[in-house]
Amino acid sequence: MATVKDVAQLAQVSVGTVSKVLSKDTTVKDALRERVLKAVTDLNYRPNMAARALRTNRASIIGLVVPDITNPFFAQLAKDIETEASRRGHTVMLTNSHDDSITEGHQIAALLDRSPRGLIVAACNDTSVTVKSGETQVISVDRRLGTFPLVGTDNASSSAKMATYLISLGHTRIAYLAGPQSTDVGRQRLEGFREQFDIHKLQNPALSLSVYEGQFDYDSGEHLARSLLLEPAGQRPTAIVAASDQMAIGVLRAARDMDIAVPEAVSVAGFDDITLASLVVPRLTTVAQQTELLARDAVQRVLEDDNGDRSDVLIDGDLVVRGSTGRPPAS
């Protein structure tokens, strides 16, 4: 089995240069890097990660904590983080907090005990979790953990796009199914939608918005939608917007069971653009979160020296129009 010394000898560089190349050190000149990588390939060299961890007191592992891995959004985000980490020579250790802050605290502590190269956390709620990270870089993703920097979607401005779009179609009675207001994500999406709605209402006083709080899941969307859709056709909302695609798909399920046509009788929209959003019938209009960009920036921030940079990275969501929305029914 080839050793690092074999790679250095073949590439005609020092062992230190090989180590820098393998650890993605950007100070190595391109010509030297290419020679080292060619030698690595020719010798089929595989770094001894255990030995490296002992030398650096840091394993080539990134810890990742998500609230609910069965949530399609977090499943996709975890996959993209794993892909980006692997591209940078690191392995992801994934844990699931089950949307419980106490469990989340225990899992964070257990991951930090393993001296990971960094830790990425999508917090379950705004409950402050005390994290003694030491030298480990900690980054929040999607949902903020304490005061740690956040890489996430600009939920307010992205949600505002949906408000403008539905009003442009002619909808005047809109229901908004909000996510838990115990999370900054739930609050920001509602605030962005409501603020944009109020701007349009100044020009059109006939606009009406009703808000209902639920959870980011299918059952919550279905439960809230059933009570709304029981209203007489002339009184119920002509558009129902959900704070997540899971909730919106629950709305679609309720409408189907109640024999209410979407979008002919009621338009339905969500947020996230999970894979299922393009598979349901009708296909769901939504705001797409750029999970690949979230993963790229989160991994980059957690691996690279930020020189004390505590700023957030916010990425715009994209409005994706599909078949679940249309003009409101005639009076």
pLDDT band at 321 (very low <50, low <70, confident <90, very high): very high
Read off the pLDDT of each residue in 72-100 and give the average, rounded to a whole number.
Answer: 94
pTM of structure: 0.80
Helix axes 4-11, 15-22, angle to 10 degrees: 110
Among 53-57, 160-164, 211-215, which is the least confidently predicted range?
53-57
Asked, colleague to colleague, whether 4-47 and 155-289 share their fold, the answer is: no
* pLDDT tens per residue, range 129-150: 677 777 788 999 999 998 899 9
Flag the least confident range among 15-24, 153-162, 303-312. 303-312
How many other β-carbons are positioned within 10 Å of the β-carbon of residue 183? 22
Q: Which residues of 46-60 are buried (b: 16+ CB within 10 A; e: fewer)?
A: ebeeeebbeeeeebb
Three-state DSSP at 163 gives helix
The CATH fold of domain 4-47: 434 Repressor (Amino-terminal Domain) (1.10.260)
- Tens-digit pLDDT profile for residues 177-198: 999 998 999 999 999 999 999 9
CATH class of 155-289: alpha beta
The residue extents of the domains of the chain are: 4-47, 59-152+291-315, 155-289
Residues 6+ apart with CB under 8 A from 250: 217, 218, 219, 220, 221, 222, 223, 224, 225, 242
**Nearby residues of 88 by Cβ (< 8 Å), 6 or more positions away:** 24, 299, 303
What's the one-letter identity of residue 246? Q
Measured CA to CA, the distance from residue 62 to residue 111 in angstroms comes to 9
> For residue 37, how many C-alpha atoms fall within 13 Å in the half-sphere facing its CB?
11
In this structure, CATH architecture of domain 59-152+291-315 = 3-Layer(aba) Sandwich (3.40)
Question: Is the pLDDT reported for residue 34 higher than 70?
Answer: yes
Write out pLDDT tens, residues 48-62. Answer: 544 554 444 456 899
Output the average pLDDT for the chain.
Answer: 91
Report which of 255, 235, 267 is spatially closest to residue 170, judged by C-alpha positions: 267
